[in-house]
Structure formats: structure tokens, C-alpha cells
Structure 1
Amino acid sequence: MASDIILLGARPFICERAWQLGARPFVIQHPERSEDAVNRQSDRVLLMSYEDPALIPMLKAAHALTPFVSAVTIAEEALIPCARINQALGLPGTPLDLVEKTRDKPAMRRVLDAGGFSPVQWAAVKTHADAVTFAEKRGYPFILKPVDGVGSIDVRLVRSVNDLEGVLNGTSSWIAEEYLDGPEYSVEAFSFAGRHVILGINVETKNTDPIGSEFLEVAHQVPAPMSPERDREVRAFIRGFLDVLGIKDGPSHTELKYTSRGPRIVETHTRLGGDRLWDLVRLTTGYDLLDMTLQWAMGTLKPLEADPIPRGGAAIQYFTPPPGKLRRLHGMHALKRLPGVVDISLVVDVGTTIRPAMKSEDRAGYVLAYAETVQQAQAICREVTQRLVLETA
């Protein structure tokens, strides 16, 4: 018998996975984000805002007729509404107060400060004067980002007071944090009754194009090239962090910097990571984080006993061609036949206007590769990126 689950912000590939795993999804989506491919394969679709006050009463009525087992999402903006639904319907899932801590950056910093974990200098700021005061105490450069930001949007590196011009209006809430040096990693974990299993450690590559966002991620590699000592340290650090935060069950995606003073938390999310990181983990471990998340919601996931040992290496590189109208595109079908290429995907075509790479949606597509080592996988990605023709005018 199929398990009835609530899917918030479902994309076609998520719905398909849910059906294949034996779930019967009840899809909730913002009307402006509705996709025909989702609506056609789902027999119950509710197009309304996640914040609509009528949503939970409607779901309670549906739950009384055909009980749901849980609500689940992999969309960042839907994490709090999803937790509210589970709380209101008495269903399992990540607790609302915990999700709120991860979505509110100052709240998470306060939890870490209280636990004496990953010390980072920070301050909540709203005005230009607030930010200048922080800089006078802590110095330049520092990081400025929205307290509930998503996907590196509006994150800024403030090198001097000139970079603050016109940014803070006194109404929006921001957090100022000390600049953390060193490479950036992200860690994919799944928790089982307070026991944290780490499935993959990824090293992130940021955008270097000066007209785009320097915080936009353009490449990932799993497993992250690092010494065995650093690997053990990062794993222990993440387990300690998840304990301090209070995460007991479900997926988590945590970003950290390995600084000159050791590892420091950047932020975390109670979901699997984006940017096809689940594919990199699946290729190197055999475990599919998307399937695991859905099975966890359905109550059918069997706990993992230990961290899987990665086999080979996987990498993904995103295409960020120069801005302008795309006038020539070729090479994808030939390059897909290269040994080690798992997938090449493009979201643009001739005539598309390419925007400066400021956010994830501005990237033109990606190449995904797998090889005996992560360095070889990354080399395949670089070759495809160099040979693929994405000519703009």
C-alpha cells in the first residue's frame, strides 16, 4: 500500500522518485512555480502559498480522510512551512524550533556561542552605522549577508566602508561575520536517533568572474581532496556541531571553512545539499540522498551503521559563459561520449540571454563526471568546459 506524503516545492524528478519508492505524493506548490510535468503525474496538487493561513486547516481535513505519514521538502524556502505542517498534524520530521535555528543565522550563532563551539565574531545589523561599528571593533574585511538568505544571494565581502554604500536601509535584517580564510567544504550527513553518518565531504569552488558573484558555487568535488588527518578532524567537527545544534534525525547539509585556526561553521541546512551533490555522493558511495530523504519521510529508511568509504571520485562543473545573447552552441552530444562523463545538461539554447552569474539560476548548465580519482573527474569536467562552445554576443 502506498504511503501518502506531502511534498512541498516538488520538482518532476522528486515526484518521480516518490512514486517509484511507493509513495503517493500530495504536492503543494506556489502557483507561479507550478510545472505541468509535476501536475500531470500527481493526482493531488494544491497550488497555493506555503504561508497561506488556510493551508494547514485544509491539510488537517485531508489528513482526517486519508492520513499522511509525513511532510517533506528539499527546497530551502519550504523547510519552515514543512516543519509547521508536521507539527500541526502530529507527524514525524525535523522539529520546527530546530529548523528555525538553522534558517535564522543569528539564532544559530547564539546556539553555537552558548555551546562554546566554532567561535566566530558576528553581530546582527540593520543600519549603515551598525555595520561600521562592527568593522571598527572587528576590522575589515568581513562578510555581510541576509539573516535568512538562500543560495549565496546578496552575500557580500565588505573590504572597506565604501562597500556598505546603499546596502543597509534600516528595515532588512542582516548578519555581519568575521571573514574566514581557507578552503570551503560542505558535508552531507544523515542522522539516526542522534547518531550522525557522514556520506560525503565536498570541496567547493567559487566563481572567479569579476562581473559575477564571488560567492556563487561553480564546481564541487567528492570526496574532497584532503589528508586523512583533516578528513577525520572534519568528520568529528561536524558530528560535534550536529550534537550542539540538537539535530537527531534526517538529512543535513553543512558548510564550513577550514581556517588557519581550524574548522569553523559557515551555515547548515536541514535538507540534502543542492547542485546535484546527491549525484556525487551516489556515484562515490552507492547511497542516494534523495531516495534516503523520501524513505525517511515514509518511515521505511533503514539506518546506516557507519560512514560509507568512497570509491573513486565525482565532480560537477557549472557553465558560466560571458553575458550576452547566446548565438552559437555546440559540442554537447559529442562530449557526452567522453569516458567518465556521466551527464551534460544545458538550460539555455541559441537566442537565450545569458546574465552575469550572480545566483544559481544564472548558470547555463553543468557537466558531471566520475573517475578513479576525484582529480581525474575534475580534469574531465575542465576538458568539457573548455571544448563546449557557448558563444555569446
Structure 2
Amino acid sequence: MKSELLLIGAGQWIIDWCEYYDVAYTLIQKPGIYVSGSAKQVVLIDYENDEGVWDYIEALCNKRNIVACLTSTEPALSLAAKVAEKFDLPYRTCENIEFIKDKWKMRQVLEQSPLNSVACELVESPRELQKFIDQHGTVIAKPQDGVGSLNVYKLTSDNLGKLDAIKGYPLLVERFIGGKEYSVEGFSYNGEHRVLGITEKQVDEKNLVEKRHVIPAPLPADQEQKIEQAISQFLTVIGIKNGPSHTELKVEDGQVYFIETHNRVAGDDIANLLELVSGFNLYRELVGWPIGRRADVQAGDSMKGCAVIDFIFAEQGRIDKICGVDSVRTMPGVMEVKIYKPVGSKITNTKSSYDRLGHIIAYSDSLAQCEEIIKSVHNRLTIDVSN
């Protein structure tokens, strides 16, 4: 029987690679979500809320030769794990999805491992939060299952006035880890972990929103090796055995501390940056590996040049004018300039990655050259905002 793929909430990149490999697939997508005209077999079901989705999936998997269940969206990960576990498919299990989505449980797993752990607690009230701050100084408070830097707070004894505004208890509170922050893109093959690239993350200290990603991260060779070794241990401890992973970590005083991980392709166009410097396409591998088409290119061994995504922000107000976008897109080294919001949109204070206005992607021989390209783009772009 011909091999087929089940796609749940999959983006256009996955559909395109299914078409490239001429592999049969069924896409389950929510009603109202755009689906490309190239998608051949589409079933519209609200896979988060419609109980009938499981009956449909069971019937499909019992009838067809489904070899993998793929997704590129956070809301579909739990369902994809349930499918994979039920029908013995690769990529994820319900247990490691639980550790990945629940950061408190991930911390408990790490405490039982040889990896570095950080002081943390699940707090139920402002009083418990203040007690933890008194004990540990600067802390990070965040939801157990948050994404996109949403509702993440950096707190100290000097800004306890913020406590009254914090909602959504219980919260995971952790000792603040200093040092630089990185993310690591990986792909695992039956428990063999391959590091594809290390990205340096630059974060706004006021709101903890990521403002720039640089790949490859400017790291000394010994530090890079230390991160790669720690990542391999970490993925094994968490239980990720197959498929893509995106892991965030910090290096403080030479020690690696893990922040969180995801068993999916990274957001923020990091996959695009990785392909620019290595030629390795994560979505191609996601589709190709389960059908026996593993890529020959080994990212990480042959990085060429530097790729940077720099996010565009604006002050609070209303966008009155956006000029220069088309002209900067033709500049040498500019791979993409995208504005997320049209003229007339309201800009609020930046509280999460969803509040960013746009981005610039640059690729060149070095980080210094990328920075010059990005600076030139900012100088030529005009974004007028009125109060």
C-alpha cells in the first residue's frame, strides 16, 4: 500500500514539500484558515474542539498506510502526539509533549537529571511570588504553558509594584539566569540527535521580547561544543527521539541552562535563516525523512556566511504612513522586508512577540556586514506613528 502522510494544521511549507516529493497526504485544517489551492486532500474540522476529529483520524489511519502525522503549529501538537502514539508513528509521544508544554514538569524532569537545574517554584499568589523574590533576587515569572513571550515578567525587589497587575496564577517563577541567550535547531533520528545550528537571541530587557536572531551564533569553538553536548543530553532526558526540535537556553558563567524546548520547527523565520547559511531545509526533512528521503546535506558542518532577522518596532499610537518598503527590498544582502500591519493600525505597548511591527532579513559574509545592511534598511524606511 502506498505511503501517505497525515497533516494537522500544517502550513504551506509542509504542503509544498509533499507536492515536491509527490507523496499522498490528507490535511486536516480549521475552517476559515487559508489553504493553498495546491492542497489536494483537505478536510475542514476544528481539530481543537470538534470531538469528531478523532473518529475521522482513526478511520483514516485504519484504512490508509499513514507513515507519519505532521504539524507545524503549536495548537495541533498534542493531537499529533496522540495520533503518533496510538498508531506507532514517529516524531512525538504524549509524554514528551506534556514535558514540553508544561514548563513546570520540564523543570522537575531536569532536576532528576545530571543537567544544570535552576531554582524554581509554582506559585499560587502574589504573596508566594514575593517570597520567592525575597529568597532569590531577580526572577522570571511566566505561565506554565506560555508561548510568544506572552505574560512573561522580569521582577526584582525594586519593582514589586508590578505584582498587583500580574494575572493568571499559578505561575512558574524561576531564578533569573544571566548571560547570553541562544536557541538550537536540531533534528533527531531514532534517538540520534543532530545539531543543525545555534542562533544568538537578542532580547529587549524591558519586555523580554526577542528583537533579533543571528545565525551562526558568534561563539568560541569550545563553548559551541559544550552547547551541542548539553543539547544531546537534554533531548534524550526530555524524550525527544525523532523530528525537529527548537530549544532555548542561556549560558551563565560558562554553564548551560535550559529555558524551554519545542518538538517542532522554530518560529520567527529561524528555519529560513538556517537554510540561508547551511542549505538545510527543516520542512523538507520533516516531510522527507519518514518517507525514506533523508537529506544528504548536514547542516552545521558547512555554514557559509551569516543571516540575521531584525524585528521592527514602533512607539504606541496609530500608523499614519509606511514608505520605502519596495525600494529596500532590492538592496544587496536584503533577503526579505515584511511589515505585518497596514496603515491605520493601532500600535500598543510591546508586551509579546505578537506586538512587533515587521522584520528585516539580511544575509552576507559576516555579522558586521549584516548589521550594516540592516542599519541601511532602517534609515531608508519611513514609518510614521501618531499618538
User: Fold-level match, TM-score > 0.5?
Assistant: yes
1:279-312 deviation per Cα after TM superposition (whole angstroms, max 9, x unaligned):
1110111101121122234453257768423111
8 Å CA contact 1:278, 1:289 repeated in 2: yes
Any conservation in 2 of the 1:330–1:388 contact (CA below 8 Å)?
yes
Moved more, 172-181 or 358-367: 358-367
Is the aligned partner of 1:257 residue 2:250?
yes
Q: Which amino acid aligns with 1:275?
A: D
| Superimposed CA distance per residue, residues 60-87 of structure 1 (whole angstroms, 9 cap, x where no aligned partner) | 1122333322211121222112101222
Which piece of structure 1 moves more, 197-206 or 351-360?
Answer: 351-360
Distance in 1, Cα, partners of 2:316 & 2:20: 40
Find the counterpart in structure 2 of residue 164 from structure 1.
Answer: 163
C-alpha distance in 2, partners of 1:307/1:103? 27
In structure 2, what is the equivalent of residue 144 of structure 1?
A: 141
- SS of 2:44's equivalent in the other structure is strand
Q: Which moved more, 1:270-279 or 1:230-239?
A: 230-239
Alignment partner of 1:176 is 2:169? no
Distance 2:291 2:132 in 1: 46
Q: Do 2:335 and 2:363's aligned partners in 1 also have CA atoms closer than 8 Å?
A: yes
Taking a change above 3 Å as real, the CA distance of residues 193 and 11 of structure 1, as seen in their structure-2 partners, is closer
SS of the residue 1:175 aligns to: strand
Match of 1:5 in 2: 5
Amino acid at match of 1:366: H
Corresponding residue number in structure 1 for 2:377:
384
- Per the TM alignment, residue 3 of structure 1 is displaced from its structure 2 partner at its CA by 4.6
- TM alignment of 1:102-121, pairs within 5 A: 102-121=100-119
1:235 aligns with 2:228: yes
Instruction: Note closer, same or farther for the CA distance 1:278–1:327 as it changes in structure 2 (3 Å cut).
Output: same
Amino acid across the alignment from 2:80: C
Aligned length, in residue pairs? 384
Give the counterpart letter for 2:182 in structure 1: Y
Equivalent residue for 2:80? 82
Retained in 2: the 8 A contact 1:221–1:378?
A: no
| Separation (CA, whole Å) in 1 of partners of 2:91 and 2:251 | 31
Query: 2:238 and 2:253 mapped to 1: Cα distance?
Result: 24
After TM superposition, the structure 1 = structure 2 runs for residues 286-301 of structure 1, keeping only pairs within 5 Å, are 286-301=279-294
Deviation readout 1:129-162 (Å, 9 max, x if unpaired): 32233223x3221011111111111111112332
Aligned 1:1-393 pairs, distance under 5 A:
3-31=3-31, 34-35=33-34, 37-38=35-36, 41-136=39-134, 138-160=135-157, 161-168=160-167, 172-207=169-204, 214-260=207-253, 262-302=255-295, 307-393=300-386
Q: Is the 8 A contact 2:102 2:145 kept in 1?
A: yes
Length-normalised TM-score, structure 2: 0.92
Residues 90 and 242, structure 2, Cα contact 8 Å, conserved in 1: no
Give 1:221 shift.
0.4
| TM-fit CA distance, 1:98 | 1.1
CA–CA separation in structure 1 for the residues paired with 2:379 and 2:310: 11
Question: Whole-Å Cα distance in 1 between the matches of residues 28 and 299 of structure 2?
Answer: 35
Contact map agreement 1:121 1:177 (CA 8 A) in 2: yes
CA distance in 1, matches of 2:320, 2:140: 37
> CA 1:178/1:116 → structure 2, altered by over 3 Å: closer, same or farther?
same
Distance 1:306 1:285 in 2: 5
- Give the SS at the match of 1:10: coil
CA-to-partner distance for each residue in 1:104-149, whole Å, 9 max, x for gaps?
111111111101311200011222232233223x322101111111
Question: How far apart in 2 are the matches of 1:298 and 1:127?
Answer: 49
**Residues in 1 aligned to 2:385 and 2:15: alpha-carbon distance in whole angstroms:** 35
SS of residue matched to 2:208: coil
Shift of 1:58: 1.3
Task: Specify the SS of the correspondent of 2:36.
Answer: helix
Distance in 2 between residues matched to 1:297 and 1:167, nearest whole Å:
44
Give the letter for the 2:29 counterpart.
Q
User: What amino acid maps onto 2:313 in structure 1?
Assistant: T
For each residue in 1:168-201, what CA deviation from the matched residue of structure 2 results, as whole angstroms up to 9, or x when unmatched?
A: 56xx432110000011000001112222211111
- Per the alignment, do residues 74 and 327 of structure 1 end up closer, same or farther by CA in structure 2, a change over 3 Å counting? same
What is the Cα deviation at residue 223 of structure 1?
0.4
- DSSP-derived class of the 1:69 partner: strand
Amino acid in structure 2 at the alignment position of 1:139: H
Q: Which amino acid aligns with 1:26?
A: T
CA distance in 1 between counterparts of 2:209 and 2:367 reads: 21
Distance 1:41-1:246 versus aligned 2 partners, 3 A rule: closer
Cα 1:81/1:383, change in 2 over 3 Å: same
Query: The residue matched to 1:81 in structure 2 has which SS?
Result: helix
Distance 1:238 1:40, change over 3 A: closer
Distance in 1, Cα, partners of 2:296 & 2:76: 25
- State the superposition RMSD in angstroms: 2.2
Partners of 2:110 and 2:116 within 8 A in 1: yes
The alpha-carbon distance between structure 1 residues 304 and 95, as it changes in their structure 2 partners (threshold 3 A), is farther
Unpaired segments of 5 or more residues in structure 2? none
